């Protein structure tokens, strides 16, 4: 049983690390260990209660628990994506082991004799080709992730009165939006990521009636004086229509991931959709911020 636990745990650790790499997820030893320990439950049950409903159910539900324990998540979409990758890797590794087991015959001595029939030799170039394509795709994925990561910056946004929040922002050269009153470049921010750091007096404007108006400026001018001072509406051109984004001027925006922290002049514009499906970033910087960051 100890050998079964060792082999099963080693393979589970390998699968969890590979799944993290493919999902671009950070992984920590304690979380991976927790996932591996959860994966040992079917092995223990197979030794004591092999013919039981509990053992049968564990084989199907334990992978869900393993993947849940192994990584930090910010949404179920990323969890299910990682779970799918884990299943695909498990099936692929299982198929490879099953094929090798059919080719290798152990005769009780140290090592074994390799038996590959002539009729099966075609599988070798096929495996080599699949391995080459897999490695090529893997390096492209890593290169793409590395390039994206090099353009993601940490922002600390001070909204005033002791309210602040942090986001990761992607440099987006396609973002050309500006505050119509101050001329400041606009940073697009996910509304959900900013709500916790917003002053209470500004929270009602997020769900204001301006969303249903063709021109929201008159609504703002008739509202609270604080809203008039800190808020603006950013016009943007959508697909076949023109609309508005709510803009709020923060007290300070500081990019903390540069060698020296850099303060940026910016107006925040809030969007309700998720900007990054894998939660790699929650904001988009203006092209002017791009140039400023590159110069730094």
Q: How far apart are the C-alpha atoms of 25 and 28, rounded to whole Å? A: 10
Q: How far apart are the C-alpha atoms of 119 and 231, rounded to whole Å? A: 74
Helix-helix angle 2-23:76-103, to 10 degrees? 130
Provide the token pair at 281.
Answer: 């970033």
120-125-131-132 Cα dihedral, nearest 10 degrees: 180
Residue 172 is among the residues annotated as catalytic for this protein: yes
- Sheet strands side by side (includes 231-238): 231-238, 241-248, 267-271, 186-190, 283-285, 163-171, 152-160, 252-255, 262-264
Tokens 């697909």 belong to residue: 239
Q: Indicate which residue of 2, 4, 172, 214 is catalytic.
A: 172
Catalytic positions are 172
């Amino acid at each position: 049983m100890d050998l079964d636990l060792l082999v099963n745990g080693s393979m589970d650790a390998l699968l969890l690390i590979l799944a993290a790499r493919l999902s671009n997820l950070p992984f920590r030893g304690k979380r991976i260990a927790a996932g591996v320990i959860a994966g040992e439950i079917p092995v223990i049950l197979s030794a004591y209660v092999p013919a039981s409903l509990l053992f049968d159910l564990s084989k199907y539900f334990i992978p869900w628990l393993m993947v849940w324990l192994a990584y930090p998540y910010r949404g179920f979409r990323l969890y299910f994506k990682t779970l799918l990758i884990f299943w695909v890797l498990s099936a692929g590794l299982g198929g490879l082991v099953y094929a090798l087991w059919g080719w290798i015959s152990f005769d009780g001595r140290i090592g074994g004799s390799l038996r590959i029939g002539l009729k099966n030799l075609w599988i070798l170039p096929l495996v080599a080709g699949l391995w080459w394509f897999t490695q090529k795709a893997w390096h492209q994925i890593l290169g793409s992730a590395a390039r994206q990561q090099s353009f993601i910056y940490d922002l600390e946004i001070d909204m005033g009165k002791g309210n602040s929040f942090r986001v990761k922002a992607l440099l987006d050269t396609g973002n050309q939006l500006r505050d119509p009153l101050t001329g400041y470049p606009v940073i697009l921010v996910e509304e959900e990521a900013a709500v916790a750091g917003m002053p209470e007096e500004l929270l009602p404007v997020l769900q204001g009636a301006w969303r249903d108006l063709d021109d929201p400026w008159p609504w703002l001018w008739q509202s609270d004086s604080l809203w008039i001072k800190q808020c603006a509406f950013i016009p943007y051109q959508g697909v076949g229509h023109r609309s508005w984004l709510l803009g709020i001027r923060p007290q300070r925006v500081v990019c903390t991931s540069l060698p020296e922290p850099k303060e940026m002049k910016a107006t925040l514009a809030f969007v309700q959709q998720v900007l990054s499906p894998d939660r790699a970033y929650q904001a988009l910087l203006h092209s002017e911020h791009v140039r400023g960051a590159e110069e730094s």
